[in-house]
Amino acid sequence: MTEKALNPFKVAQAQLDEAAEQLKLDPAIHKLLRTPLRELHVTLPVRMDDGSTQIFQGFRVQYNDARGPTKGGIRFHWEETIDTVRALAAWMTWKCAVVDIPLGGGKGGIICDPRKLSMGELERLSRAYIRQVGRIIGLEKDSPAPDVYTTPQIMAWMMDEFSFLKGQNEFGVITGKPLPLGGSAGRGDATARGGMFCLREAANLLNVELKGATGAIQGYGNAGSFAHMLAEELFGMKIVAVSDSRGGIYNPDGMLYEEVFKFKKETGKVGGFPGSKEITNEELLELDVDVLFPSALESVITASNAENIKAKISVELANGPTSPEADLILYKNGVYIIPDFLANAGGVTVSYFEMVQNAYDYYWDLETVHERLDKKMTSAFHAVHKTREEHKVHSRLAAYMVAINRVAEAVSLRGWA
């Protein structure tokens, strides 16, 4: 596979193949795990504010449900592709398995530019999607969640549409909902917080002092901005660079979360933040920092720039930010990667907590959510690290080995292969 025009699903399959070889996986199980069990392609006519009708394409992929109902976000993105959704559904399968929650992996998406849609158009698009995929989702089938350019409000509309179709409240069909509609405390920063628990454990193993350590955050959306907040709050780290889709900023003296977040909220970008120097996303990745947080989209660290990565630890809050070729280079160079489907599994873990709370209609306080998330993430981190050390493999391969072994065991016990 070349680095040119990386296909995320080919990347996901290559990562699976490598782990299957290490595990000496049964050939039939290996073949079964290389492709989704089912996927639905939908066409969505939506009435626009000007009275015209626009046609959108959408997808829902249920990759594997051997361990339980599928779970995974819904993306609204202008460059969405079925192969991206397939890859993300595969990664969700491994993510749920690596943190040992009883769910499989799914993912959904709509090809659209939500930045160009009004609130009314977004609502009609969201409801149209549920009318089409509603037949294959539900608390005991497949529970979607927010992802890139989707929000708690969009989840609320989707839950409401599904409830209308079923004739009763169905809060558990969707997670990441607003608190008054069955959302869970702690869901907002769960992805970043889960990554921070992993970072704490990695830093302890590597003897990296996090208080005063430098960090760079590539991507300043939900996960990236919360990573900034928590790095300061939990560890006293100094974030010296952040970026968004329009560029990055750098200040060797550090930049405070509250100030950067306020500036981004007011201006719509981080570029131009007072006292900072503008840098590109590419330059940010190669800064000499202790911790790198890739928190944007896929395939930003490849064979072409991996040799230039200087961070001691890379906490992958984004999905698929590092190519297979880059993994090997970083491992050889001593960069400790906390791989995406471990580092960012806090989101799906608290989404699972939300499903549990919806199912028995009793809700936990924030402290309980944080304690249970910490326990899950810490246990998962050490299971992966133990496999890494025992088999002398890089962290992503170790995480795949832990996850795939668990899914393969369920497939075998169920008699599928």
Catalytic residues: 107
Whole-angstrom distance, CA of residue 388 vs CA of residue 393: 5
Whole-angstrom distance, CA of residue 172 vs CA of residue 177: 10
Tell me the one-letter amino acid at 317.
L
Whole-angstrom distance, CA of residue 12 vs CA of residue 319: 11
For 301-330, b/e burial (b = at least 16 CB within 10 A) is bbeeebeebebbbbbbbbbbbbbbbbbebb
Q: Which residues pair with 53 in a beta bridge?
A: 47
Contact criterion met (CB below 8 Å) for 293 and 317 = yes
Neighbours of 131 (CB within 10 A): 15
Question: 44, exposed or middle or buried, with CB in 10 Å at 0-12, 13-18, 19+?
Answer: buried
Tell me the one-letter amino acid at 33.
L
Backbone angles phi, psi at 315, to 5 degrees: -100, 105
